[in-house]
Chain A
Amino acid sequence: MSRIAGCFSKLSDQQRTALIPYVTAGDPQPGVTVPLMHALVQAGADLIEVGVPFSDPMADGPVIQAACERALVHHTSLHDVLEMVREFRTEDTETPVILMGYLNPVEVWGYAEFASAAAAAGVDGVLTVDMPPEEAAELISAFRDHGIDAIFLLAPTSSEERMDIINRSASGFIYYVSFKGVTGANRLDVDAVSSKLMEVRKHTDLPIGVGFGIRDPESAASVARIADAVVVGSALVGRIPDLADRPEAIPAALAETLSGMRSAIDAVAGSR
């Protein structure tokens, strides 16, 4: 069983919803990322999504775009991101780590070579947002060869046919994009997500994480009632600009935000 599958299985036994924070690697500087990851685990993260900075983050809103730009000032590369995961793994061998980013850095590295290096660094899953399953056969097979879960998105526009395609391609969990839009937008409609998830669950047995637009403990709790995992990105990353001149304060500050969400989620545990 992969580290991701094991994590979800344990949480399911405990009737808990997973909390998955997202942070962009290297934001606002490379030294912050690993301590930040540890702090997020302390604050209740069950899995961690590490964003791979990209020059053209088409699916992201202004908060994550700015995070990418800050990280790229220091030329944080995909190689650097794997180095950070490797360092994280020296102290934490349990928390699953998922890379989230765009295809081109992986494309340039080479699928097989990247998959091998990522597995060696301790990466458990990879989500390339601009890689639909139709184009992904070779990439998925490289990931499978190295025990890496291929995470795919489902969206409000996904047809039942696409749910089946994605179920066949995905492993670990499925990331449901809560609305039509970019990361961080204020468009979350929990009822709409809830009815779509009922449909999605007819097509897959994989755990379903919900992300985009979860900005506070209340929205985290309401999504936790219907999803297997709550993904929080812009609400955390959006705090970084104000702390950029005090980078040592970032891990504690973001951990505080996350732990508020953790408490709210746990308060609705078992109510699914």
Chain B
Amino acid sequence: MEPTQAIDPERSAGTLPDEHGHFGPWGGRYVAETLMLPLDELTEAYNHYIKDPEFVAELDADLADFVGRPSPLYFAERWSTRLGGARIYLKREDLNHTGAHKVNNTVGQALLAQRMGKTRIIAETGAGQHGVATATVAARLGMECVIYMGSEDIKRQAINVYRMRLLGADVMAVESGSKTLKDALNEAMRDWVTNVDNTFYIIGTVAGPHPYPAMVRDFQTVIGREARDQIQQQAGRLPDALVACVGGGSNAIGLFYPFLADSEVAMFGVEAGGDGLETGRHAAPLCDGKAGVLHGNRTYLMEDPDGQIIETHSVSAGLDYPGVGPEHAWLKDTGRVTYDSVTDKEALTAFHEVTCVEGIMPALESSHALSYTARIAPAMDRDRIIVVNLSGRGDKDVHTIAAMEGITI
């Protein structure tokens, strides 16, 4: 099989965003003046290098030999049979170097940082997966690396914190606000505005000011382009449905985007329902949020009637974010993607099922997508095909899962 190219400079599946980063009314660039010029410079560099054959070749080589792409598309036969409906294929992003899809983006942005002459990398992280993926590329390129992480998340994800430190990164505990991912993002922005001359900010999801939502998406669409080729080779046709979990939404947009023009492919984005939408303790702004502006873009947010951002809840630190990428807001409004939610409990059930039945231990984030798949698959005919993004592996979550079940390891 011909290798799938790392990036599609023509963005052939869609024309958004516009030149100011708008997806319809969503997105844009809402930052203080100091960052406007650096964001212009980043946009210009990005638009230049994605069309530079040398840059693309280097990215291709890194994704192949450092990340281990293409990631397999695996037919989960036993699980499909057990559910008694559609044939379920798992896109194995958990098998990437560092254990999740996050590295696709950090490899791309770090190469860009190097081209732009930056010597210092910063990033925010929630579950720690993006932090690890960033610390990994910084180590490889010999760049200074600072990772901002909410002190609550540091407690939940001790293993990833230690991994980042082993990789030579400084992990800075963020004690402000809710002490989680959104506050880590605030703190990373403050660092960037202070050290903008030598520092590149690697945002880990398809949110933030333009060009981040488009750039991160472009680096993640390798997932969908590979899956599109692989399913046609394995099943001889396009899938009937795609399923992915949505926190900020990078693994979902990475899978969905190359299929957007294929109207026969249904798409489902699964948000973190936490204790259930009705309790208000969740992280599902597309299902139960309102329009607002945060972290540089207009999107759906979890906010109170005064416009203050409220604390979210999810068992999965990687989905525990009050906003969502602006392109998802647009895809919700246009109806192209259906967004729904899965509770902590349901995700945990799916985690156990897939672990036992397929011998694959999914991340709690990905378990949300798997749970939703288990909800829709049984009602579909056996010749139907679902492709699920298994965005990360579950090793990082075993302590959380044990604690939820009252087990001391």
A residues bordering B, Cβ < 8 Å?
Answer: 54-62, 65, 69, 72, 75, 77-79, 102-109, 129-132, 134-135, 152-159, 162, 166, 177, 180-182, 185, 187
Contacts and interface: CB of A to CB of B under 8 A. Distances in A.
Contacts of B190: 58-61, 181-182
Given A56-B294, A181-B190, 4 more contacts: A55-B309, A104-B307, A156-B34, A180-B194
Instruction: State the main secondary structure of chain B at its contact with A.
Output: mixed
A132 B34 contact: no
20 contacts: A54-B307, A55-B177, A58-B186, A59-B190, A69-B176, A78-B307, A79-B306, A104-B301, A105-B306, A105-B308, A108-B303, A108-B307, A130-B32, A132-B30, A156-B34, A157-B36, A162-B33, A180-B195, A181-B194, A187-B194
B37 interface: yes
| A-B residue pairs, 6 tightest by C-beta | A105-B307, A108-B307, A155-B34, A77-B306, A153-B33, A157-B37
B196 A108 contact: no
A132 B29 contact: yes
A71 to B, nearest CB: 11
Contacts of B32: 58-59, 129-130, 153, 155, 177
B18 to A, nearest CB: 12
Contact of A182 (B177, B193, B295): B193
Contacts of B31: 58, 130, 132
A75 B306 contact: yes
Contacts of B194: 180-182, 185, 187
Nearest to A76: B306
A107 B307 CA distance: 8
Interface in B4-43: 20, 28-38
B378 interface: no
Interface in B256-308: 290-296, 298, 301, 303, 305-308
A210 to B, nearest CB: 14
B156 interface: no
Contacts of B33: 132, 152-155, 157-158, 162, 166, 177
B292 A108 contact: yes
B32 to A, nearest CB: 4
Contacts of B30: 103, 130-132, 135
Nearest to A104: B307
A60 B306 CA distance: 20
Given A58-B189, A103-B293, A109 B307 contact: yes
Contacts of B193: 59, 180-182
B29 to A, nearest CB: 7
Contact of A134 (B29, B35, B38, B195): B29
Nearest to A175: B33
B303 A157 contact: no
Among A57, A106, A135, the one with the most B-chain Cβ atoms within 10 Å of its Cβ is A135
Contact of A58 (B29, B295, B310): B295
Contact of A107 (B189, B293, B295, B305): B293
Contacts of A106: 307
A181 B196 CA distance: 9
Contacts of A55: 177, 308-310
A248 to B, nearest CB: 27
Contacts of A182: 190, 193-194
A108 B292 CA distance: 7
Nearest to A182: B190
Nearest to A156: B34
B182 interface: yes
B292 A104 contact: yes
Contacts of B196: 157, 180
Contacts of B38: 157
Interface string B127-160: 0000000000000000000000000000000000
Nearest to B189: A58
Contacts of A72: 308
Interface string B61-97: 0000000000000000000000000000000000000
Nearest to A154: B33
